[in-house]
Amino acid sequence: MATSSGNSSGSQLHNSGSEGDLQHVIDQRKRKRMQSNRESARRSRMRKQQHLDELTAQVAQLRKENGQILTSINITTQHYMNVEAENSVLKAQMAELSQRLDSLTEILNYINGNNNINSNNNGVFETEPAGQLLQTGSTAADHNSSFTMNPWNNLLYSNLPIMATADMLQY
């Protein structure tokens, strides 16, 4: 009997040894898995941080582009406003010049219908036919005074701008 008890205690030792080895293997696997999980979590955090850095850089780049676009829009709007103002001025000038042309055309039509124009007098309007002034015995001085007395000849000077200085306009 003694031998059987010795055998049973030997198998218990053998079983506890293999249980210790098994426990050791399980613990080693756990540590290995924990280490692997830590490395995986560290890599995941690094990927997240890298992604966050990329997004932050992209936000900065997009803000910069938005600023450039806004600046471009402001410059274009200013150019548009300048062109609109210049266009308004040109339209006003065109209306004024059209009105002047209509007036001058009306005057020419009136003159051509009622008076003669001497082609040798450079656009000076005469109320008498050419040659009659000097045929009646009048002198060149009389001809000059006749020039200033004719109201149509004063139209040549009516389109000149009137200039005024600030000291002329006092309250």
Give CA–CA dist 137/133, Å, rounded. 8
- For residues 22 and 130, the model is more confident at 22
Number of alpha carbons in the 13 Å side-chain half-sphere of residue 162? 2
Going from the C-alpha of 36 to that of each of 22, 28, 31, 47, the distances in angstroms are 21, 12, 8, 16
DSSP 163: P
Residue found by looking up tokens 């149509």 in the block: 152
| Per-residue model confidence as pLDDT tens digits over 41-79 | 999 999 999 999 999 999 999 999 999 999 999 999 999
Please name the residues in contact with 147: beta carbons below 8 A apart, sequence gap of 6 or more: 124, 153
Average pLDDT in the chain: 76
Quote the pLDDT of residue 52.
Answer: 97
Using the predicted structure, report yes or no on whether residue 170 has a pLDDT greater than 70. Answer: no
